[in-house]
Amino acid sequence: MTLNIFHVALIAIGYTLLLFLVAWYARRRFEQGRSLVNNPLVYSLSIAVYCTTWTFYGSVGKAATSGIDFLMIYLGPSLVAFSWFYILRRIIRISKENNVSSIADLISLRYGNSQLLGSLVTLIAVLGIMPYIALQIKAVVTSFAIVSGVSDHAIKLGAPESSITLPTGFALALILSIFGVIFGARRRPTTERHEGLIAAVAFESVVKLFSLLVVGIFVTWYLFDGFGDILNRFQSQYPQLFERLFTLKAVQGNEAIRSGALCVQEFCLLVNHSNPVLQNDVIPSSTMLLMSMGAILLLPRQFHVMVVENADLNHVSKAMWLFPLYMFLINLFIMPIALAGILQTGSTTGADYFVLSIPLRAGNESIALLAFLGGLSAAAGMVMVESVAISTMLLNNMFMPILVKFIPKQWFPLVLINLKRIAIFLVVFLGYFYYRAVGDSFMLVNMGLISFLASMQFLPAMLGGLYWPRGNKSGAIIGMALGFIIWCYTLLLPSFYGTTTNHHIIEHGLFGISLLKPTALFGLTGMDMWSHSMFWSMLFNIGAYIACSLLIKQGEMEKEQVRRFIGKYETERSQLKSTAKRLSKPVTIPQFIALMGKFIGPDEARRSMSVYLKGRKLDEENMVPEFELPAMKRYVERTLAGSVGAAAAGAIMDSYLSDMGSRMESVYDIFSTVRASLDQSREALYVRLKASEIINRTLNLQTIMDELLQLLLKEFRLDSALIQISLNSDAKLAVQSYQGSDRRPITPEHWYQESDPYIRMALADQRTHFVNDISNIQEVVAMPKTSAEGFVSFAHIPIFREGEKSLGVLSVYSKSIRGLFTEEFVNLLTSLTGQLAQAARLVEEMQAKEQERKEKEKAQFDNAMVKRDMEIAEQIQLSLLPATPPVLSGVELAGRCYPATYVGGDYYDLFKQDDHTIDLLIADVSGHSVGAALIMAEVRTLLRAHAGRTISPSSILATLNSQLYEDLTRAELFITMFYARYSSATGRLSYANAGHNMPLLYRIGAERCTRLDAEGLILGIKPSVIFEERSINLQQGDTLFLYTDGITEAANHEGELLGIEKVCRHLFLNGTLSVDDIAESFHELVKEYMQSSTPQDDISMVVMKIVA
Amino acid sequence: MLRSGGRKLLKRLDLRESWVIFFVLGNVMLNFPFLKIFNQPTTLFGFPIMYLYFTIGWAISIGVIYLFASSSEPEAPDQQTDEEESL
């Protein structure tokens, strides 16, 4: 029985709408930032796109005809899942880093962005996938025919007599192409991820699993009584077949189905043919296992869903068991269905469609329809993903290399998206044409295996690329090309066998050489077509890959990629410096944005760039630092790669740069030898070592600077180097050292003065300013003289210690090398200037210390000089005092003076006026400085002038005051003085006092001593003073004691003064002693009282005793 | 208790190498001459021995992957991969 065609069509359309709904919802969720697709379950289901109509229909056919070995196609991928932890994760990581959009991209990227390789991979993919898509079309067309009963593979439109017919296959191809366009090429994204497509594919995977399970359960438990029942019945009905289906015949394949009774379409075709070589043996299980193991990763659509559409690396570990589980479930009922089909129909004819025909035979429409939808799902999902994946490859690796020859225009994005749409149609229709050509002569599974083997050609280049550092481009290209040619010759060509009339090559070999027979190449017979083709193609592919890789050298680009792909992948990658290359002419950010805009649209370009800049704290307005440029260029290239593929992106970037007059050039490798440590080359270490040697050898800053510059000139190819330093903070910069060529006098006209703006910038922001190519300098800072001298690059490095002001600038110039200043070199120079700053600071500190020491010495010397002078002054001053008291009859006299320091302000004197008269005076100039001593000398001189004149003591004081007033005022000093005159003839003492301590008089028999008081102002206060003059008669035994305040104001440790009372008392007790003894006793008194031998103040006294 | 013991055992097996060992083991078991052991038309409980071997072996292998993949998940050895920005 069949179903109504419109019924079926309606259900199919409804199902299609549901698919679109799923895709639309996924896309919406993604745009809301709540991705539906970003989870391991969906990821695993999308990988299940592996299970196509081949699985859905073909597996049953395979199981029914050749038996259990159909499982190999699923056991292989399941086994490979063990290796995903290594291989798949690594591929995904590399792909994400490089925005890889297809397997062609990845392979061409690994081999130095080779466009040729990319094109070759694409070609193989496009041709290789042809039978696979044909398989899907065939399956759907046939299943549609079975379900709806439409024969002739065409749907008649309109009235039955109408001549317009629409071939089902063509219609299907058209619909599938449109599907592909809608899901995969609706608009041009920057990355190749399609949320909607993946959601739809995952949904389809659920549908096909569900429908196959339902059919399986229906067949096993509804039509039969469980699997055991089916097996029992089958074993009893077809014991021979049972044995054959449940054993593998890999070893002795020749004894296969010769009987012919169970021959299936193409087997019959080939077996019946007269040429025994074309016998189609059963494919050994190992061949299928190997092919499926390769296919799971290498088929373009598998690569697309597993790698390109992978949202999170961590999904892999879940998919590792979820995907095999899916395959396990979907295969669970294949065998029961196959056996049940044979049991029901009695033959294996049409075994490919048992899934559909058994429910139909049982009259269960809905299950048949479900099965049809499952098959449709399986086909649609595969064709959609495959066409999207391959169209991406076609666009990036076939169309782009041609397109990039043109100058990018604003309409480019439009062209690209339409080219991609055309590519999708191309891929699907190639499959359709193949189906038209050979479709009916092959079983589904065997068609699929042709594609599997084509994708196997990627295996050596892929695995070698990931794990073999020496694998190179030429090896990959030659190996892959040879493998592809052999595949074409030994598998694709014979696949047309049944459909062409010209069998000459297939039967007799090329040019009639039997050794070149496609199915028995070089005389290799006894193998099935697939194993035979696999053996030869893989032999040549792997052989050529290894041989060429060993014989031919890798290119520069390749070597860099090898480091990215292999090596100590995890550790080394982060240390890959972006400074290996530099842009000879800087490109600005707006220029980059404009370039990207031409391929991915201006808005997307701006957004993409701002993402990049945000992560790097850069500003769109600013110039990009030179070291940033290569990294930014790589980012732009990578962004483009997401849209046009790696090889094309590289080509676009190259042609863009060359249009700009810029190019990537190798950085002059100043550190050419092997790196001694991770971040420093041996040279850099050597120079650092040398520099610290120089710095530690001497403290002469000039020598350090000169030698440092010489070292730089010698080690690096510099032509001039100079150091400008301002030695103290306010001084202007001055050239302190100049080494290298062109040592002309340094004048304001010297060429280096042109660098002044850079130097000032370096001083101010304490960063290195350098120009790697003088011809790139903008007009603002023109340097005509410098470039006229032939300099091409220069750098100015500030000399400073961390956290301090810049001391100066080191400037280096090169005449020979553009691009000399790499990040590494600049770092080295910066560290050298750091050391220099340290040394300069050290020298400065040493000099300061030296200065201090000298000053101290001088002070000590000066001090000694002063001390000597003071000692002399002391001697002189003491000599000014009366050496011995004058002799006067009836009077004993004694005078003492003990200065507190070398010189003092105390003064006493004794003049003998005549034989009976003596003048005695005691004075105290304020302070005990040298000034006081000088005034004292002056007083003495003035008094000596009066000696011999008989004017009264009061007049003497008055005269003295007026004479000294000005000097004292000027010196801010004053004098207290007691002046007395004693006449031994009369026994009368007349005296006047200018504010001095009142002298004491001790009289024998008196109870206490008398103070001699007289009114009078201190000398030097007023210009003119009148002094009171008093007189007293002295008797025999009277002792007069004149003293200065050094005695009365002597203080003990508690700060108590000696005081006049104690002095009085002392005089009272000792008044009977001789004058000298009295004087000594007072000195002792003071010393004892102070408990110190050095007086605080000058001590002076005069003692006079009347003896007769 | 049993669970944590199993986890410890899995850890001791050193996950990275285990994947390689399983892969190689699987390849050996899915090829001749190993397959020859089961390549005979005898049945066990009515099921052909080869069919049982494939089906049960497959289920076990999925279980093994599940165990190892889930035990390696929390501290997946190379998860430090979002460093691209630092390049």
Sign for the CA dihedral angle at B73, B77, B78, B80 comes to positive
Put simply, the answer to whether B23 touches A89 (Cβ < 8 Å) is no
CA angle A884, A888, A892 (to 5 degrees): 65
Is the pLDDT score of B75 beyond 60? Answer: no
Burial class (CB in 10 A: 0-12, 13-18, 19+), A864: exposed
For residue B31, the distance in angstroms to the closest alpha carbon of chain A comes to 6
**At residue A1029, what are phi and psi to the nearest 5 degrees?**
-120, 130
Q: According to the model, what pLDDT value does residue B7 have?
A: 62
Contacts for A202 with CB less than 8 Å, ≥ 6 apart:
A37, A42, A45, A46, A48
CA A447, CA A135: separation in Å to the nearest integer? 6
**At residue A84, what are phi and psi to the nearest 5 degrees?**
-60, -35
Comparing alpha-carbon positions, the chain B residue that sits nearest to A245 is: B41
Q: According to the model, what pLDDT value does residue A583 have?
A: 65
Contacts of B59 in chain A (CB under 8 A): 328
Interface check B35 vs A, CB under 8 A: yes
| Residue-range domains of chain A with CATH | 5-258+285-441 (1.20.1730.10), 577-666 (no CATH), 699-849 (3.30.450.40), 881-1106 (3.60.40.10)
Q: Which residues are paired to A721 by β-bridges?
A: A739, A812
For B66, the 3-state DSSP assignment is: helix
Structure tokens at A560: 């860099």
**At residue B36, what are phi and psi to the nearest 5 degrees?**
-60, -30
**At residue A52, what are phi and psi to the nearest 5 degrees?**
-105, -160
CA A65, CA A475: separation in Å to the nearest integer? 40
Put simply, the answer to whether A314 touches B30 (Cβ < 8 Å) is no
CB atoms within 10 A of CB A498: 17
Of A82, A325, A570, the CB nearest to B19: A82
Preceding omega of B77 cis (within 30 degrees of 0): no
Q: Which residues of A88-127 are buried (b: 16+ CB within 10 A; e: fewer)?
A: bbbbbbbbbebbbbbbbbbbbbbbbbbbbbbbbbbbbbbb
Interface check B48 vs A, CB under 8 A: yes
Q: According to the model, what pLDDT value does residue A900 have?
A: 82
> What is the complex's ipTM, to 2 decimals?
0.80
Interface check B44 vs A, CB under 8 A: no
**At residue A993, what are phi and psi to the nearest 5 degrees?**
-130, 125
Interface check A240 vs B, CB under 8 A: no
Please answer whether residues B71 and B15 qualify as being in contact, where contact means their C-beta atoms are separated by less than 8 angstroms. Answer: yes
Statement: the pTM of the whole predicted model exceeds 0.80: no
Mean pLDDT, contiguous 10-residue spans, chain A (1108 residues)? 72 85 84 81 90 87 84 88 84 83 86 85 89 86 79 51 64 84 70 77 91 91 87 85 75 35 33 35 76 89 88 85 91 89 82 86 85 87 87 84 70 79 88 80 76 90 86 89 90 73 67 72 76 89 91 79 65 44 69 77 79 69 66 79 73 74 57 43 73 79 85 80 76 78 70 80 82 72 78 86 82 81 80 82 84 93 89 86 86 88 84 86 84 86 79 88 88 89 89 91 83 88 89 89 88 85 86 88 88 81 88
Q: According to the model, what pLDDT value does residue A381 have?
A: 87
CA A804, CA A763: separation in Å to the nearest integer? 11
Of A76, A85, A574, the CB nearest to B19: A85
Give A502's Cβ-side CA count (13 Å radius). Answer: 4
CA A243, CA A661: separation in Å to the nearest integer? 74
Cα distances from A525 to residues A220, A256, A266, A533, B64, in angstroms, run: 42, 16, 20, 11, 41
Please answer whether residues A772 and A821 qualify as being in contact, where contact means their C-beta atoms are separated by less than 8 angstroms. Answer: yes
Q: Which residues of A877-898 are buried (b: 16+ CB within 10 A; e: fewer)?
A: beebbbeebeebeebbbbbbbb
Put simply, the answer to whether A317 touches B39 (Cβ < 8 Å) is no
The DSSP symbol for A49 reads: G
**At residue A282, what are phi and psi to the nearest 5 degrees?**
-70, 140
Comparing alpha-carbon positions, the chain A residue that sits nearest to B75 is: A314
Burial class (CB in 10 A: 0-12, 13-18, 19+), A825: buried
Cα dihedral A993/A994/A999/A1003 (nearest 10): 10
Chain-centre distance for alpha carbon A1: 71
Cα distances from A1015 to residues A411, A1027, A1042, A1048, B32, in angstroms, run: 121, 6, 17, 20, 144
Please answer whether residues A390 and A128 qualify as being in contact, where contact means their C-beta atoms are separated by less than 8 angstroms. Answer: no
Please answer whether residues A1023 and A958 qualify as being in contact, where contact means their C-beta atoms are separated by less than 8 angstroms. Answer: no
Please answer whether residues A208 and A116 qualify as being in contact, where contact means their C-beta atoms are separated by less than 8 angstroms. Answer: no
Pick the closest to residue A193 from A307, A315, A300, A295 (CA basis). Answer: A307
Strand order through the sheet with A975-983: A906-912, A917-925, A975-983, A988-994, A1030-1033
Please answer whether residues A754 and A786 qualify as being in contact, where contact means their C-beta atoms are separated by less than 8 angstroms. Answer: yes
Give the DSSP per-residue string, A320-354: HHHHHHHHHHHHTTHHHHHHHHHHHHSS-TTGGGH
Radius of gyration for chain A, computed over Cα atoms and rounded to the nearest angstrom: 58
CA A998, CA A758: separation in Å to the nearest integer? 84
For residue B75, the distance in angstroms to the closest alpha carbon of chain A comes to 11
Residues in chain B: 87
- The amino acid at residue A349 is T
Contacts of A41 in chain B (CB under 8 A): none
Tell me which of A246, A325, A467, A638 to substitute to probe the interface with B (most B C-beta atoms closer than 10 Å). Answer: A246
**At residue A332, what are phi and psi to the nearest 5 degrees?**
-60, -40
Of A71, A97, A317, the CB nearest to B76: A317
CA B50, CA A244: separation in Å to the nearest integer? 11
The DSSP symbol for A56 reads: I
Give B53's Cβ-side CA count (13 Å radius). Answer: 23
Put simply, the answer to whether B27 touches A79 (Cβ < 8 Å) is yes
CA A450, CA A902: separation in Å to the nearest integer? 123
Contacts for A252 with CB less than 8 Å, ≥ 6 apart:
none
Q: Within A489-627, where are the H helices?
A: 493-495, 504-508, 529-551, 556-565, 569-573, 589-600, 602-616
**At residue A773, what are phi and psi to the nearest 5 degrees?**
-150, 115
Burial class (CB in 10 A: 0-12, 13-18, 19+), A983: middle
H or E, element range at A1031? strand A1030-1033
| Residue appearing with tokens 């399956």 | A139
Of A76, A243, A570, the CB nearest to B41: A243
Of B30, B47, B62, the CB nearest to A325: B62
Pick the closest to residue A1042 from A955, A975, A1085, A978 (CA basis). Answer: A978
Structure tokens at A544: 């050529």
Burial class (CB in 10 A: 0-12, 13-18, 19+), A1049: middle
Q: Which residues of A581-604 are buried (b: 16+ CB within 10 A; e: fewer)?
A: bbbbebbebeebbbbbbbbbbeeb
- The amino acid at residue A883 is A
CA A857, CA A1047: separation in Å to the nearest integer? 38
Chain-centre distance for alpha carbon A758: 26
Please answer whether residues A498 and A438 qualify as being in contact, where contact means their C-beta atoms are separated by less than 8 angstroms. Answer: yes
Q: According to the model, what pLDDT value does residue A500 have?
A: 61
CA B48, CA A638: separation in Å to the nearest integer? 54
Q: Within A881-976, where are the H helices?
A: 930-946, 953-971
For residue A404, the distance in angstroms to the closest alpha carbon of chain B comes to 28
CA A449, CA A287: separation in Å to the nearest integer? 10
Pick the closest to residue A299 from A40, A61, A121, A177 (CA basis). Answer: A121
